[in-house]
Structure formats: structure tokens, C-alpha cells
Amino acid sequence: MDSMITWFMETLGGRISKEMIVFIVSMVPILELRGGLVVASLLDIDIVRAIWFCVIGNIIPVPFILLLITPIFNWLKQTRLFRPLVEKLEKSAMGKSGQIEKYEFWGLVLFVGIPLPGTGAWTGSLIASLLGVKFKKAFPAVLLGIVIATVIMSIVSYGLLGALIR
């Protein structure tokens, strides 16, 4: 995490704000809001400001993934170059789809909300799209999951758990 922050600061230092770094990190697959809140904490950004930048950054890709990833994947699978990559991504995502497939809305909420490796808004949206979950059901589930992840990661990243225990 420190090396990522260092890279951002050295590469974009002075050109973008700390908040914009957090916003960008929150949009990146795998890191998402979870990484954004950790980075915000390390950059000493106020928790309320950090939450806004992280949540908005994490939400922005979701509708695009839910609405466009299946047609994009279908198009890419028609090429010899991208077919193996797309099939690997689909296989990986679908390997984690059991809970979402079984419980749909609440499964998706928990999948996005519980901050474990390989979970989050990007993967949850991808799985929902591949399973054919309707946008009007998937989008609110992902949003609720992001809210849950925000609460958990705020407690972890900003040491609120220690403050609560004292």
C-alpha cells in the first residue's frame, strides 16, 4: 500500500490532491473502496471526506459493469487474442458465484459488503451480470454492499475499533 501511495505521489505529486488519489484507488478493481479507505487513512484525510470520495469512486464503475460487461465479453470472445482472457475472468468470477446464485439479492449484498479477498463491487457486479441478475435488483444490492463495506473498512482503517473498545 505504501509503495502505491508513493507511486501516486511521485508520479502525480502536486498535480492531483490526496482526495483524488483516494478516489482513483477506489475505482481500481481489487483495491476498490477497501484500498481507498486504507490509503485515505495513511494520507490523514478526514474520515467523512474519505468516505465520500471512496464511495463515489467505488460506485462509478458498477452501472457500466452491470449493463455492458456481458456484451463486451461476448464481443471479445469472438477474437482469438482475447477469448482465453475473457474465459478465464468468467471462470474465476463464476467460481465465486454460489452465494449470489443461491440468495441473489442478499447473497450479492454480502459478497460485496464483506471485505474478503476476491470480493467487492467489481466482482459482485461481474457475477451478477453473468448470472443475468436484473439491473434494478443488482444495483441496489451492490450499493447496500458498498455501505456495509464502508462501515467495516472505516472501523478497520481509521482505528475506530480501538476507540470503541477503550
**Which residues, at least 6 apart from 102, have a Cβ–Cβ distance to it below 8 Å?**
none
Each residue's pLDDT tens digit, 46-98: 999 999 999 999 999 999 999 999 999 999 999 999 999 999 989 988 888 88
Answer yes or no: do 66 and 83 share one domain.
yes
- Rounded to a whole number of angstroms, the CA Rg of the chain reads 17
Answer yes or no: do 45 and 78 share one domain.
no
pLDDT at res. 159: 83
Answer yes or no: do 79 and 43 share one domain.
no
Answer yes or no: do 148 and 160 share one domain.
no
Here the cell at position 79 is 477474437
pTM: 0.86
Answer yes or no: do 86 and 28 share one domain.
no
**How many domains does the structure of the chain reveal?**
2
Residue (of 89, 96, 104, 94) closest to 134 by Cα position: 104
Answer yes or no: do 143 and 65 share one domain.
yes
Answer yes or no: do 20 and 38 share one domain.
yes
Each residue's pLDDT tens digit, 101-123: 888 899 999 999 999 888 999 99
Answer yes or no: do 10 and 78 share one domain.
no
Answer yes or no: do 26 and 74 share one domain.
no
pLDDT at res. 161: 54
Answer yes or no: do 142 and 87 share one domain.
yes
Q: In which domain, by residue range, is 135 found?
A: 61-152
- 10 Å CB burial of residue 93 (0-12, 13-18, 19+) is buried
